[in-house]
Amino acid sequence: MSSISVDIKPKKHYEILDGLRGVAAILVVAFHIFEAFAGGNRFVQIINHGYLAVDFFFLLSGFVVAYAYDDRWGKMGQWEFYKRRLIRLQPMVILGMIIGAIFYYFQASDILFPMIKGMEVWKVILTMVIGFTLLPIPPSMEIRGWGEMHPLNGPAWSLFFEYIANILYALIFRKFSNKVMSVFVLIFAGLLINYTVFGPKGDVIGGWSLNLEQMNVGFTRLLFPFFAGVLLCRLRKLIHVKNAFWVCSILITIVLALPRLGDENSLWINGLYESICIIFIFPAIVAIGAGGEIKNEFSLKICKLLGDISYPIYITHYPLIYWFTAWVVDNKVTMENGYLEGIGVLIVSIILAFVCLKLYDEPVRNWLMKKFQRKKGSEALSS
């Protein structure tokens, strides 16, 4: 056992928050499946606001990081914090890139991805290796044609920003009092409102390309929810309701599935909705989830399973989505004719995530943590 964790009492585990992360991850997969049939038209997309799950994940991450580490800094240095976060997140980042490289040539499409057929293998391998580090790919090295900073596994962009948030927390924000943190959270909320309500698109879609416009979207999406999650954890303003997991699951599903509000001439209406969701509704859902209790074994098992597979689902499903979307577009498949295949993609995504979890993620993380703890123990004995 690590010398650091000996005198730290076990903390309450928020099983409901784990379960909600899994619900949101599955909704993300469903959103991307429906997106294949939308023809790029965000106004007709089913599960229209599914992309807001990323903002919900940022809020959850801020809450969980503060809960896990705020009281450890007297006994833990920054490098130990970074190592713990890397052990938690990085193994699946690497596997997600490998899966993306394996599926890459199967995703060839004359319409969507014309670059794939003629792409040299060494460029794919280089992109995969760079992807292992989560360093963003510049547009000049893009191998797909969508301008993604991680073209083998698009959703990895949010992990890039997640790491930035963790670094900002460890370097600066953990030292702030609640009053100072509140000021920053209010500023970040203002930036979010300015972009969604008064910006050019009326939504927070974006953040996955290495250019000024997309980086602005990424930081706008990151800063408020992550540090609002930190502040929410510190304030301990939890909400206690019965059947909290099921209530929160219904709420997050409604929020993400609601159709687009307004039209091209009233983009601000949808932007206002998204601001309300991120600034008010998501914190309320987390407060309900953290304040709730699970009193039956069935709900506990559901939450644990959903929590366990949530991250693997999120970080491994998109290579299947590239493949599925290329098939839909190339063959002009309608939703009526392709919904069974879409259901199949969802099922395979869940199975793939579970297999990755049990055969790779958990064993690798356990091995790394034991190695890390042995090293910490040795350092403690020699000091």
Q: What digits encode the pLDDT tens for the residues 9-25? A: 567 889 999 999 999 99
Nearest to 311 by CA among 357, 346, 368, 278: 357
DSSP state letter for 199: S
Q: Which two tokens stand for residue 271?
A: 């932007």
pLDDT of residue 382: 47
Q: Reduce the DSSP state of residue 142 to 3 states and report it.
A: coil
- What CA dihedral angle connects 285, 292, 30 and 266, to 10 degrees? -10
pLDDT at 378: 56
Tokens of 383: 């000091």
- Which parts of the chain sit beneath pLDDT 50? 1-8, 380-383
Distance CA 348, CA 116 (A): 24
What predicted TM-score, i.e. pTM, was given to this entire model? 0.94
Q: What is the pLDDT of residue 279?
A: 98
| pLDDT number for residue 11 | 78
